[in-house]
C-alpha cells in the first residue's frame, strides 16, 4: 500500500477534526436519535431518519479520517534541510511572468489540498512544475488555459 504524504500540520488538523467528530458530534447525534425515538412511530418520523442519515455520514467521515491517518506518511517540513530548493511542504511566493501578479502556494498532500487556502496538492500541475526549482527560477505550468510561466520569488518552510 502506498503511503500518501501529509504535512505534520495537516495531520494535526485531521486528528483534531477526528477528535471533535468522536467526542462532540457523535454524542450529539446519538442524543438526537434517542430524542426522535421518543416521538413514537419510526416509519414516519422525519427527525429520526434525518438523524440516522447524519450519523451515517459522520461514521463514514470518521472511518475516512482514521484510514488516512493510519496510512499517511507524516512529514515534518520544518526539519527538512533542503536550502532554497522547492520540495513537499514548501511555501512558495510566485510572480506571473506575463502579468506580474503575485501569489503564494503551499505544496501539501492530496488530502489536505485546499485551493481557497492556497494549499495545492503535490500531484497538481503547478506543484509538479515547482518541485526541484529554486528562487529566481522560472517554472512553466501546462494549464488548461495554456502555458503559464511563474518566477519563483521566495521559498520557505514553516
CATH number of the domain to which 148 belongs: 3.10.50.30
Q: Which of 14, 47, 75 is the last residue of a domain?
A: 75
Cα distance between residue 86 and residue 65, in whole Å: 28
What share of the chain in percent tops pLDDT 90?
59
Full domain range(s) for residue 66: 5-75
All three cell numbers of 72 = 499517511
Final residue belonging to a domain, choices 23, 41, 75: 75
- Residue ending a domain, among 31, 48, 75, is 75
Q: How many domains does the chain have?
A: 2
Mean pLDDT of the chain: 89
- Does residue 88 sit in the same domain as residue 30? no
Instruction: List Cα–Cα distances, 56 to 63, 139, 149, in angstroms.
Output: 11, 44, 45
Same-domain pairing of 115 and 126: yes
Measured in degrees and rounded to the nearest 5, phi and psi for residue 77 equal -65, -25
48, 70: one domain: yes
CB 109 within 8 A of CB 72: yes
Predicted confidence (pLDDT) per residue in 67-125, tens digit: 999 999 998 877 776 777 899 999 999 999 888 899 999 999 999 999 999 999 999 99
Amino acid at each position: 500500500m502506498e503511503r500518501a504524504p501529509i504535512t505534520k500540520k495537516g495531520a494535526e488538523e485531521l486528528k483534531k477534526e477526528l477528535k471533535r467528530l468522536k467526542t462532540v458530534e457523535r454524542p450529539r447525534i446519538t442524543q438526537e436519535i434517542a430524542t426522535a425515538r421518543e416521538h413514537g412511530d419510526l416509519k414516519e418520523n422525519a427527525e429520526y431518519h434525518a438523524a440516522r442519515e447524519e450519523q451515517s455520514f459522520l461514521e463514514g467521515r470518521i472511518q475516512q479520517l482514521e484510514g488516512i491517518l493510519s496510512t499517511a506518511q507524516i512529514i515534518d517540513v520544518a526539519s527538512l534541510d533542503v536550502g532554497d530548493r522547492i520540495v513537499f511542504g514548501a511555501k512558495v511566493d510566485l510572480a506571473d511572468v506575463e502579468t506580474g501578479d503575485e501569489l503564494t502556494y503551499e505544496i501539501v498532500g492530496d488530502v489536505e489540498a485546499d485551493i481557497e487556502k492556497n494549499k495545492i496538492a503535490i500531484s497538481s500541475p503547478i506543484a509538479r512544475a515547482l518541485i526541484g526549482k529554486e528562487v529566481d527560477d522560472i517554472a512553466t505550468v501546462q494549464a488548461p488555459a495554456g502555458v503559464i510561466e511563474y518566477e519563483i520569488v521566495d521559498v520557505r518552510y514553516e
